[in-house]
A and B are shown apart, each in its own frame.
Chain A
Amino acid sequence: MTQETVHAVTPLVRVQDLSVRFAGTPPVHAVNNVSFDLAPGEVLGILGESGSGKSVTLKTLLRLLPERKTKITGRVEVDGNDVLSLQGRALADHRGGVASMIFQDPALALDPVYTVGQQIAETVMRHEAISKSDAMTRALEMLELVRIPSAKRRLENYPHEMSGGMRQRAMIALALACRPKLLLADEPTTALDATVQIQILLLLRELQQEMGMGVIFVTHDIGVAVEVSDRLAVMYAGSFVETGSVRDVIRDARHPYSKGLLAANLVGAVPGTRLDAVPGAPPPLNALPEGCSFAPRCAHAEAACHASPLPVWTGADGRWARCVQASRTETLAKAEGQR
């Protein structure tokens, strides 16, 4: 998908200024002023460590957070619907019909007392006026779609009778049964062995292209993100710090945190040498520092980093990074170019 079409069509997902607070003393600032668009058929990878707010962002798109303890501000639109105001029937149609989700642990996400076939058929019947036998036929199609061998027999299997990779395939089948326009993937391959992980990643990539759906893929693993994403967003302490096409972010990271992550993934490291490690740990989400949350760990931090709002550097193809230094180097480069 080329960059022009991304901007030409109305986005499938439009998130504006999304913030999520969890009740507590002091409250936990899990997501802070996150904005992004996702075009239909686009794959966005959200890369972040534990506690960065990546999963919370994803769950907000399905309104899966406990309502009483959560305060959500901002605007979330999926397929033209204002997700934050959906109620009752409309919310149920949204969950599973328009958008659906796959999780890290299929053993927890699938119901152990129903067969895989029953679960898929039931989901289809909930969203579409369709007979039970037709729903079962659809379930069979779905299992074949996710390349489960001898699918007919597997229809009768309970989740515990399947291996880890097979269960993950079954969960993908369940998520895609109603042909959603948006698939939300929350670390779906993290618990799997490497040789199985790559199978699932390739499957997701194929299915995404076949069905043309938009995907938001949350992971802590750069390698995984690169395998599946068109665009990449790097998240730190509840904020997006950098976004751009996968190629741009990997080849030319502008935010020092993204650079640190790449170094930690041993990109271009000589074996046996010390790594260029980012010191320290992320700040607690109930006591975020003023200005850039990464400044306390950043080797290049300066006075300007501790003030809000932070300058944002923008590049071509919707690239940007929220960093004082990134914006300055760009201005310098421009100035030099003009000279």
Chain B
Amino acid sequence: MSTPILSAHSLVKHFNAGGFGAARKVVRAVDDVSFELAPGETLGVVGESGCGKSTTARLLVQLLTPDSGSVRYEGKMVGPELPLKSFRSKVQMVFQDSFASLNPRMTMIDAVAFGPMVHGVSRAEAMRKAQDLLDRVGLDPTRFGGRYAHELSGGQRQRVNIARALAFDPRVIVLDEAVSALDKSVEAQVLNLLMDLRRERGLTYVFISHDLNVVRHISDRVMVMYLGEVAEIGPAESLYSAPRHPYTEALLAAMPSLDPDRRTMEAPLAGDPPNPIDPPPGCRFHTRCAHAFGPCSAQVPVSHRVGTGHVAACHLNAKTEEVA
């Protein structure tokens, strides 16, 4: 891999969930997460609620400060080596809730123009750029530029949010469930837009979603998270066709088949995902894993290289594969 455009190095983020002293409860939202993004690639991030996907996204764009670990942009550590403000214009984010991510008192054109103006662009110039961008995401600026968020549909608002992110001319966009709240037919339109923009502008995406179908469609590589840790990361193709972590396998098996003759006959996992406040020791997945054996409940599994650029953290791979 060439110099990664964005990389996460052992990111850790814990939240206080109340209590003092010995009774203090800590949500281990993200625990020792590392990965790299090559320029122009799309990394899909999947996992269930509480797996730390959204926290990872916010750490990546520096909306949260990690307890330890660091984020690097083109090899430079954000903060000491790269000023936060210039990092901000390189890495942008689009959120799930299209309504909450727009200021209800701002017109759409002002919302898009706000970013460039923060970075010193004149108002007229920022407005011109905002117009072009609204046009690019498929919204006629003369019709939609003067409107407020509540006057737009969900799909239109999400287009505005994409335009707002683009207004910085970023290299990386973190999309946190950006299409999940949209109706399917609208979701397809927005996915097309995202893929077109990626090609036109050479963008790098971190695409977070709970929808494995969509992630498969848009991603080059996929990262599977479970209770704040990376379970498996690898090329979309091999991860979907030959998963090397039982959790990935279970997630794939839990997808509805879309084939009336091959309906799912057995649920791959029992029960709900455990609470990240008190994750199980050893491999965090061992309490739900059908293959759990000796070391799983005691030792934290190390990452094993299981293929080209394909790494999985599971004891099952210990005998056959080398440590990554």
A interface residues with partner B (beta carbon < 8 Å): 49-50, 163-166, 193-199, 201-202, 220-224, 226-227, 245-247, 250, 257, 260-261, 263-267, 269, 271-272, 274-279, 281
* A245, A257, A278, most chain B CB atoms within 10 A: A278
The minimal Cβ–Cβ distance linking A317 to chain B, given in whole angstroms, is: 13
In contact, A279 and B189 (Cβ under 8 angstroms): yes
Distance between Cα atoms of A226 and B273 in the complex (Å): 25
Q: Is B153 an interface residue (CB 8 A)?
A: yes
* B153, B236, B259, most chain A CB atoms within 10 A: B259
Q: Pick the residue among A164, A193, A199, A260 that contacts B185 (CB under 8 A).
A: A260
Q: A220-B183, A223-B257, A281-B155 are in contact. Are A274 and B272 (CB under 8 A)?
A: no
Write the chain A residue with the least CB distance to B185.
Answer: A278
Produce 1/0 per residue, B209-230, CB < 8 A to A: 0101110111000000000000
Distance between Cα atoms of A15 and B301 in the complex (Å): 57
Distance between Cα atoms of A224 and B272 in the complex (Å): 18
Q: Is B279 an interface residue (CB 8 A)?
A: no
In contact, B268 and A195 (Cβ under 8 angstroms): yes
Give residues 228-277 of B contacting A (CB, 8 Å).
236, 250-251, 253-261, 263-273
Produce 1/0 per residue, B8-30, CB < 8 A to A: 00000000000000000000000
A165 contact set on B, CB distance < 8 A: 271-272
In contact, A267 and B217 (Cβ under 8 angstroms): no
Distance between Cα atoms of A279 and B156 in the complex (Å): 12
In contact, B192 and A202 (Cβ under 8 angstroms): no
The minimal Cβ–Cβ distance linking B142 to chain A, given in whole angstroms, is: 18
Q: Is B132 an interface residue (CB 8 A)?
A: no
A163 contact set on B, CB distance < 8 A: 271-272
What are 26 residue pairs bridging A and B, where the CB atoms are less than 8 Å apart in the complex? A49-B183, A163-B272, A193-B272, A195-B48, A195-B250, A195-B251, A199-B269, A201-B264, A220-B183, A223-B257, A227-B256, A246-B260, A247-B260, A261-B184, A261-B185, A263-B188, A264-B184, A265-B184, A271-B217, A274-B195, A274-B196, A275-B191, A277-B191, A278-B185, A281-B155, A281-B186
The minimal Cβ–Cβ distance linking A234 to chain B, given in whole angstroms, is: 12
Distance between Cα atoms of A196 and B273 in the complex (Å): 8
Majority SS at the chain A contact face: helix
In contact, A202 and B264 (Cβ under 8 angstroms): yes
In contact, A198 and B272 (Cβ under 8 angstroms): no
B34 contact set on A, CB distance < 8 A: none
The minimal Cβ–Cβ distance linking B190 to chain A, given in whole angstroms, is: 9
The minimal Cβ–Cβ distance linking A155 to chain B, given in whole angstroms, is: 18
Chain B interface size, as a band, is 35 or more
The minimal Cβ–Cβ distance linking B129 to chain A, given in whole angstroms, is: 26
In contact, A265 and B272 (Cβ under 8 angstroms): no
Q: A193-B49, A197-B254, A202-B264 are in contact. Are A226 and B188 (CB under 8 A)?
A: no
Distance between Cα atoms of A18 and B14 in the complex (Å): 54
Write the chain A residue with the least CB distance to B49.
Answer: A193
Q: Is B187 an interface residue (CB 8 A)?
A: yes
* A194, A220, A278, most chain B CB atoms within 10 A: A194
Known: A50-B183, A195-B269. 9 other contacts (CB 8 A): A49-B184, A193-B48, A194-B255, A198-B254, A199-B270, A224-B256, A226-B257, A227-B257, A276-B188
The minimal Cβ–Cβ distance linking A92 to chain B, given in whole angstroms, is: 34
A260 contact set on B, CB distance < 8 A: 185, 188
Distance between Cα atoms of A257 and B196 in the complex (Å): 24
* B210, B257, B258, B271, most chain A CB atoms within 10 A: B258
In contact, A275 and B184 (Cβ under 8 angstroms): no
Give residues 45-74 of B contacting A (CB, 8 Å).
48-49
A199 contact set on B, CB distance < 8 A: 267, 269-270
The minimal Cβ–Cβ distance linking B263 to chain A, given in whole angstroms, is: 6
Write the chain B residue with the least CB distance to A51.
Answer: B183
B189 contact set on A, CB distance < 8 A: 277-279
A269 contact set on B, CB distance < 8 A: 217
Which 3 interchain pairs have the tightest Cβ spacing?
A223-B256, A277-B188, A49-B183
A274 contact set on B, CB distance < 8 A: 192, 195-196
In contact, A264 and B187 (Cβ under 8 angstroms): yes
B263 contact set on A, CB distance < 8 A: 226-227
Q: Pick the residue among B217, B254, B260, B273 that contacts A272 (CB under 8 A).
A: B217
A194 contact set on B, CB distance < 8 A: 48, 210, 212, 251, 254-255
In contact, A266 and B273 (Cβ under 8 angstroms): no
A221 contact set on B, CB distance < 8 A: 256
In contact, A195 and B260 (Cβ under 8 angstroms): no
In contact, B192 and A277 (Cβ under 8 angstroms): yes
Produce 1/0 per residue, B185-208, CB < 8 A to A: 111110110011000000000000
Write the chain B residue with the least CB distance to A222.
Answer: B258
The minimal Cβ–Cβ distance linking A165 to chain B, given in whole angstroms, is: 4
